[in-house]
Structure 1
Amino acid sequence: MNLKLATVFANMAELSKQKDGGAKTVIDFTRAARSIRDFPGNLEDSYNNGTLKCLPGIIPEMYDYLSEYFETGKIRFYEELKGDYSEELIKFIRISGLGKKRIFAIYEILGAKDIADLKEKISRKNSFKNILKSPKLEKDLLTKTHLERLVHSIDYYESTAALYPKGYIDFFINALVSRFKDIKDVHRVTVTGSLRRRKSFVSDIDLLVMTKSNLKGFDFAGSELFLKEVAKLPFIKTTGKRDLKHLTLSERFETTYGIDIEVIVSSGPRWAADLFYTTGSKKHVRRIEELALKSDVFTGAAGLSIDSIYRQDNPMRDIISIFTEKYFNFPEKTYPGSATPGMKNYEEGQDYSDCIIYESLGLEYVPPELREDRGEIELAKRSALPVLVKPGDIKGDLHVHSFWSDGLIEVEDIKKSCKEMGYEYLALSDHSVSNTYGNGLDDKKMLEKIKYVKSIRKNIRDFKLLVGAEIDIRGVSLLDYDESIILKTDIALASMHSNYLNTIEENTARIIGALQNPLIDAIAHPTGLVFGARAPYVFDMERIFGAAVKYDKALEINSYLLRLDINDGHAADFKKMGGKVVINTDSHRPSNLAMMYLGVEVARRAGLERDDVINTRSFKELIAWKKNRHRY
């Protein structure tokens, strides 16, 4: 419900841009969309109990639209705005950044019916040439770069169509797991699959369940009865495919949350193996299987010879399962070795049952975040896995938007958050003037903000409130603020919020130009990605990484649940080149300040350690980094 309504309001913001609805109208719709999306509760319940109108960002006009939706099931103004065009098409206009006029022109010239048809026709030989030479095309409306952006956006749209942000699932996952634990026969429930590996965007929720009837062995009848109880839970809409294999019974359920759940019923003796296999990834599992195949510890426990193993259809899971059955006595966990708080990368409250598999192969335990076959097994052989950065290592947030631009965060919200998070510092980094729809600050307003921050921080003792700025990159070596303004800030971030339609060379040159500026500290959300709303810009990331290292600048891992930019793949590559990141929340609402952990999860999946992240440094160390940074 929340994501669906947030998309409607974001679409109204986008369509208002196209109709020249005015900056204030766009800002109002955008603020409402973000407030709806970031609301952790049930929006309809909030409407019914009268608290929705008090939600920050929901001004009376926006509340009227919400009220109309809950009373009638639609918003008449939205229906008029989008006309005969589908939700899919409106969403794609936002993702591409090409604007309604260009997209509609391409649709008309190609005679496309939907996104799938558009992809097929744009991929035909000479399609670019035919579009650009069409007599139907308005002069100077489209270029080859626009069409390349279109193809890039279609690929992104398709790659994310079935995914959900992990941060959205985190709003309700604990409550969901609690409902499972309330079922009488349940002994244990753990989140597994992509969520256990803490992927930023996932396709479903995987739950591994131990029932009391399965403690000593697998009870098929008891497991079936349990799944019937699951089907009665209030958030289950329909039941799907049921599967019995490897002495586990699984079933897929459609939920009212909009995302499917797969419930895998395991047994005590096979719990460790099932946790390992359901966690994945498939590539990592296959590499571990290859090691187990060569290990007498595993093949001997299974009582199998190498020849007999190769004759079986699916031998490796059985070998690992038989081994864990012999040495893993659930729930007492009397197996060789165990996970302890002193273990590298130990986290309180996590299930380490599958630790036995790694220990028995002579490997260091591989945290779920690293199980992607990116070299982690080779490191585990040498006990050389990184000590991954933790949320508690973060000393401050350098990218927070206040009421000065498009944020709805007050000083009291900041004080409360800094106390809860144990921060030493926090920077108010508001938008600059070019970001019209972000209510960006011109020079005059920026100077007023600087004066304001300096006046109120005199009375703050528990942490350092810093003057920050998120400065738009308007061109190559061209920023919104000149040196006289930037010198008055404590932290200067540079970013791009438009320019979707530039070439890879132009975009790369803009970022590198900002990195060369000695007054810029970091690049915020470098690829410009907004999940479900904007495909990433095109860049030469290797050149950007090289420039960031050369000029000793940080690249941001943006922790907002729809950004998570740079991603774990980019962060891992950047680390290999010697780069440093800064993990920030890009908060616009008080609740966003708690999203820091999502960015830390990206860093952990990239194998980043404490020293790879500049805001794990104390305030004194942070300032020293700024002062000692190489100047070119």
Structure 2
Amino acid sequence: MQNADIARTLNRLANLLDIEGANAFRVRAYRSAAQTIESHPHALQDMVARDEPLTELSGIGRDLAEKITELINTDHLTVLEDVEKRLPPGLLQLMRVSQLGPKRVRQLHETLGIDSLESLKKAAREGRIRALEGFGEKTEAGILKEAERLEDTPPRTRLDEAHRAAADLIAWLEHAKSAQRISAAGSLRRGRDTVGDLDILVSSDDGPAIMAHLMDYPEIAEIVSHGETKSTVYLHSGLQVDVRVVADKSFGAALYYFTGSQAHNIATRKMATDRGLRINEYGIYKGKKQLAGRTEEDVLSRIDLPWIPPELRENRGEIDAAREGTLPELITLEDIRGDLHMHTTASDGKASLEDMVHAAKSRGYRYIAITDHSKRLAMANGLDARRLREQMAEIDALNERLKNFTVLKGNEVDILEDGTLDLPDDVLRELDVCVFSIHSKFNLSREKQTNRILRAMDNPHVNILAHPTGRIINGREGYEVDIEAVLRGARARGVFLEINAQPARLDLADHWARMARDIGVALAINTDAHTPEQLGHMVLGVTQARRGWLEKKDVLNTRTVTQLRKLMTR
């Protein structure tokens, strides 16, 4: 059982308990544990096998440790099964509708008997939802629209989960004696924020041996097809995986072909045809003669193109840029000097200020900003002005002891419905970095939500708009907002936006990140970390930035702390 499977189970339990109206602190404990486990660098099933105490993990007490151990050892969780007997599992589908929190789901179930997306749509079409307290005609229309969208677009696997699944499978395949080169391809290699299925390529001169070794992989739940050079399987997580074996002389061509995207491949195949050549997964050919195929560079050079980073292969202008020699020099993880959005135990984080500093220093960073929540988020133990000033004094004292490292004083302050901020200006002006964000009133109209953000930007003390669209991948759509207007407003006011690297967010989306670059708004790539391990999500944020064509100069936290301080002073 993978950590992601354990986290998914605990989140399922938390959501069902939340719908049932269980104690809020109990629900929060399960969610907190899921978050800790999801980002933990070591497999909990291995810890249990070695009899290591799970209680050493942040936020996991004896009772939770016993439940996790039960889940790992038996593949069952009694407390979850008990809740599932009391509540229809279809209620969890309703939680994916952004207008519906646990209280509203419970209200819909108890008053109208709604227990699935289908019954939700039926009730909305019949006009029965608008009559309930707290809903109305406009909310009902929004619920129907999103319920229809969710049914048409089944959840895809998040990028971080796909990476872990691919890494584990590749590690398994590397033990096959005849394996030469192995790589993931497809949308995972292109870095898309979600993945439909996994494509894994292996170069070998013994396909049957590779396939036999694959069939022993313990994570396989179902074998769809099994051949000498290609097999399709489903993992226990539900992810489909296609594994292909090619000769090593064709590995580069196969990697290029199966990385895609389809639109990119069609464009380059036409370029080959125009030159009297043919590209397929085995190589680039003139007639029956293979001209190249061992590496992607060899294949592309035959059609007069340089190597194009996989993240750009979406047929969004990268081929013309490659021909003209104007491909961007994409940002890399090594360019990042710090992280400007994270939480500690002062609000809803799981580690102390000093623990987060130590974790950041171990990554080679030169600075971080501590940005705990403001007071409006009571469930996150948000800080009021007094507690924030106490934290600032603690940071000042810590900075006096640190060498070659700076902790910036920050806060993630809530934007209220009218665009004002959750903390007074006299405390906000004392911050080094002010991250500001929306955590409520997601259902405002596009115009009101946009004006809400622009009004917040008018405050001279704010710097970085966090998770700008509010989306949760496989959870909720972002709120209605005119991102182009927000970007142009940010440019005019000297404000910046964030690429939030939390794998459930990856917000901004890649196309908005590219628009930000074109408009001239620098972005901060932040992890929004709540544990030291989550600082590692930076790699996902950098991938998102690369898909948005961002270079080092386009990203705030590639600057020195001195340069950054100047940019934060409006």
TM-score (norm 1): 0.83
CA distance in 1 between counterparts of 2:245 and 2:36 reads 38
State how many pairs are aligned: 568
The aligned runs of 1:425-464 (5 Å cut-off) are: 425-464=367-406
How many angstroms apart in 2 are the aligned matches of 1:68 and 1:28? 17
Please give the alpha-carbon distance, in whole angstroms, between the structure 2 residues aligned to 1:99 and 1:82: 18
Query: In the TM superposition, what is the alpha-carbon distance from 1:626 to its structure 2 partner?
Result: 2.1
Aligned twin of 2:448: 506
Match of 1:58 in 2: 60
With the length of structure 2 as denominator, give the TM-score of the two structures. 0.91
Deviation at 1:417, TM superposition (A): 2.9
**Is 2:271 aligned against 1:278?**
no
SS in 2 for 1:209: strand
1:299-356 per-residue CA deviation (whole Å, 9 max, x = no partner) reads 6xxxxxxxxxxxxxxx8668835589633375xxxxxxxxxxxxxxxxxxxxxx1112
Match of 2:284 in 1: 320
- Shift in CA distance, 103/17, structure 1 to aligned 2, threshold 3 Å: closer
Q: Residues of 1 paired with 2:78 and 2:170: CA distance? A: 38
What is the one-letter code of the residue matched to 1:536?
Answer: G
**What is the deviation of 1:480?**
0.8
**Kept after mapping to 2: 8 A contact 1:545/1:574:** yes
In the alignment, structure 1 residue 208 sits paired with structure 2 residue 195: no
Aligned match of 1:44: 45
Classify the secondary structure of the residue corresponding to 1:474: coil
1:439-491: CA deviation from partner (whole Å, max 9, x where unpaired): 21122221221111111221011210111100111122311101011112111
Counterpart code for 2:192: K
Q: Is the 8 A contact 1:400 1:430 kept in 2?
A: yes
User: Which piece of structure 1 moves more, 482-491 or 496-505?
Assistant: 496-505
1:169 aligns with 2:162: yes
Aligned pairs (5 A) from 1:300-449: 320-321=284-285, 326-328=290-292, 330=294, 353-449=295-391
Would you say 1:232 and 2:216 are equivalent positions?
A: yes
Counterpart of 1:336 in structure 2 is none
Cα distance change, pair 174–81 in 1 and its aligned pair in 2 (3 A): closer
Q: CA offsets, 1:107-166, max 9 Å, x none?
A: 7898766325645x47xxxx5572356xxx4344334135314522552575351x2222
Per-residue deviation, 1:389 = 0.7
Q: Is the 8 A contact 2:385 2:427 kept in 1?
A: yes
Q: Amino acid of the residue matched to residue 445 of structure 1?
A: R
SS at match of 1:130: coil
**Structure 2: runs of 5 or more not aligned:** none
Find the counterpart in structure 2 of residue 262 from structure 1. Answer: 242
1:540 to 482, 506, 530: 482
Structure 1: segments with no counterpart, 5+ residues: 214-221, 300-314, 331-352
Q: Contact between 1:581 and 1:614, CA under 8 Å: does it hold in 2?
A: yes
Q: How does 1:161-200 map to 2 (within 5 A)?
A: 161=155, 163-171=156-164, 173-200=166-193
3-state SS, counterpart of residue 445 of structure 1: helix
Q: Cα–Cα, structure 1 residues 192 and 443, in superposed 2: closer, same or farther, change >3 Å?
A: same
Amino acid aligned to 1:190:
S
Identity across matched positions, percent: 29
Q: 2: CA distance between counterparts of 1:517 and 1:402?
A: 26
User: Could you tell me which residue of structure 2 aligns to residue 130 of structure 1?
Assistant: 127
Which position in structure 2 is the counterpart of 1:147? Answer: 141
| SS of residue matched to 1:537 | coil
TM-superposed CA distance for 1:534, in Å, is: 3.4
Counterpart residue number, 2:6: 5
The correspondence of residues 480-629 of structure 1 with structure 2, limited to 5 A, is: 480-627=422-569, 629=570
Conservation of the 8 A alpha-carbon contact between 2:91 and 2:115: no
How far apart, CA to CA, are the structure 2 residues paired with 1:172 and 1:329?
A: 27
Using the alignment, how far apart are the partners of 1:157 and 1:614 within structure 2? 38
Q: CA RMSD in A?
A: 2.8
1:30 corresponds to 2:31? yes
SS at the partner of 1:478?
A: coil
Structure 1 residues 603 and 615: CA distance shift in structure 2, 3 A = same
Secondary structure class of the residue paired with 1:469: strand
Q: 1:207 to 1:18 in 2, by over 3 A?
A: closer
Deviations, residues 342-387 of structure 1 (Å, cap 9, x unaligned): xxxxxxxxxxx11123222222321110000111111111011111
Greater gyration radius = 1
Contact in 1 for aligned 2:446/2:482 (Cα 8 Å): yes
Instruction: Name the amino acid aligned to 2:40.
Output: F
Letter in 1 for 2:440: S
Going from structure 1 to structure 2, the CA distance change for 1:7 and 1:320 (only over 3 Å counts) comes to same
Paired residue type of 1:468: G
Question: How many angstroms apart in 2 are the aligned matches of 1:323 and 1:409?
Answer: 62
The Cα shift of 1:291 comes to 1.1
CA contact (8 A) 2:21 2:103 kept: no
Q: How does 1:56-135 map to 2 (within 5 A)?
A: 56-67=58-69, 69-70=71-72, 74-79=76-81, 81=83, 84-93=86-95, 95-100=97-102, 102-103=104-105, 114-116=116-118, 118-119=120-121, 121=122, 127-128=124-125, 130-131=127-128
